[in-house]
């Protein structure tokens, strides 16, 4: 079965420090991987995706993600965290069997303190 | 260009009442989705519509029905609401193709008493 796991419920980072939000996946076939961000009382916003090509994917708001096939991981990173990055982050994998529906992780709450 | 819109934003129902959540998109996308979000559960797919005129069950369809009225609109109906359906509901739209991201509406916060 295809699935995605976010092992950390919450990540705490000081402003200016690098941040990493972890995601691992399990798929049959090629993975199509996505990161979304949700600010309080808002819908999800697309950040970035990995389809093929370079393992380092750059996205919105200075975020990037590193695809690692051998570790089946797709960790979200940012070199220098901002307080405004505090939000809920979701990793998702495309389910190629069911017309491309997304399977979401449970989410990781990122808290950036000044 | 509003993207994906949802109405209402908030709703309180009593057990057994019915209601319809409305969703519309102006991006001309073929596929539309309904999710529910519960604390610690992430987003779970209720129903989806790959194209106008088709609908299919997702992970948690029980207690819900959907209608893909046209390419723009995809509604979600609760025929007899239950407290277990208290949740935040999100509609999304996407273009065809496995590499296309989904675009989400702002959500409807539903409480069933």
Across the A/B interface, how many CB contacts are shorter than 8 Å?
58
Q: Of A19-23, A37-41, B83-87, which range is least confident?
A: A37-41
Mean pLDDT of chain A: 92
Q: B16 exposed, middle or buried (CB, 10 Å; 0-12, 13-18, 19+)? A: exposed
* Banded pLDDT at A99 (limits 50, 70, 90): low
Which of A49, A94, A101 minimises the CB distance to B58?
A: A101
At residue A97, what are phi and psi to the nearest 5 degrees? -80, -30
Q: What is the DSSP string of B52-65?
A: TT--EE-S--TTEE
Chain A residues touching B54 at Cβ < 8 A: none
The whole-number pLDDT of residue B64 equals 97
Cα-based angle B15, A106, B73 (whole degrees, multiple of 5): 55
Q: B86 exposed, middle or buried (CB, 10 Å; 0-12, 13-18, 19+)? A: middle
Q: B21 exposed, middle or buried (CB, 10 Å; 0-12, 13-18, 19+)? A: buried
Distances (CA, A) of B67 to A90, B22, B86: 28, 10, 21
3-state DSSP assignment of residue B107: coil
pLDDT, tens digit (0-9, with 9 covering 90-100), for B33-64: 999 999 888 899 999 999 888 999 999 999 99
3-state DSSP assignment of residue A97: helix
The whole-number pLDDT of residue A94 equals 86
- The answer to whether A75 and A65 have CB atoms below 8 angstroms apart is yes
Cβ–Cβ of A90/B101 closer than 8 Å?
A: no
Q: Above 80 in pLDDT, residue B99?
A: no
- The answer to whether B20 and B76 have CB atoms below 8 angstroms apart is yes
Q: Give the helix/strand (H/E) hosting A65.
A: strand A64-68
Q: Give the helix/strand (H/E) hosting A104.
A: strand A101-104
CA distance A106 to chain B (A): 4
Beta-carbon-side half-sphere exposure of residue B7 (alpha carbons within 13 Å): 3
3-state DSSP assignment of residue A11: strand
pLDDT, tens digit (0-9, with 9 covering 90-100), for B61-95: 999 999 998 999 999 999 999 999 999 999 999 98
The whole-number pLDDT of residue A96 equals 67
Q: Above 80 in pLDDT, residue A100?
A: no
* Banded pLDDT at A50 (limits 50, 70, 90): very high
Q: Give yes or no for A89 touching B (CB within 8 A).
A: no
Q: Give yes or no for A102 touching B (CB within 8 A).
A: yes
Distances (CA, A) of A86 to A3, A71, A80: 25, 27, 13
The whole-number pLDDT of residue B39 equals 86
> Closest by alpha carbon to B79, among B14, B18, B27, B25?
B18
Chain A residues touching B99 at Cβ < 8 A: 32, 49, 51, 94
The whole-number pLDDT of residue A78 equals 98
Q: Above 80 in pLDDT, residue A1?
A: no
Q: Above 90 in pLDDT, residue B97?
A: no
């Amino acid at each position: 079965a295809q699935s995605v796991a976010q092992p950390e419920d919450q990540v705490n980072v000081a402003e200016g420090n690098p941040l990493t939000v972890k995601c691992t996946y399990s798929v049959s076939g090629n993975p199509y991987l996505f990161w979304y961000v949700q600010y309080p009382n808002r819908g999800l916003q697309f950040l970035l995706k990995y389809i093929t090509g370079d393992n380092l994917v750059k996205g919105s708001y200075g975020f990037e993600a590193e695809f690692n096939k051998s570790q089946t991981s797709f960790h979200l990173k940012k070199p220098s965290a901002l307080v405004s990055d505090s939000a809920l982050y979701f990793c998702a994998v495309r389910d190629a069997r069911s017309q491309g529906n997304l399977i979401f992780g449970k989410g990781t709450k990122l808290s950036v303190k000044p | 260009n509003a993207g994906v819109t949802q109405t209402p934003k908030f709703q309180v129902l009593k057990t057994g009442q019915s209601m319809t959540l409305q969703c519309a998109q102006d991006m001309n996308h073929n596929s539309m989705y309904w999710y529910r979000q519960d604390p610690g559960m992430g987003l779970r797919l209720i129903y989806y519509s790959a194209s106008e005129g088709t609908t299919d069950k997702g992970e948690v369809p029980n207690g819900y029905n959907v209608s893909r009225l046209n390419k723009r609109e995809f509604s979600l109906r609760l025929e007899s609401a239950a407290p277990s359906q208290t949740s935040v509901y999100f509609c999304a739209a996407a273009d065809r193709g496995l590499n296309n991201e989904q675009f989400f509406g702002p959500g409807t916060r539903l409480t069933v008493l």
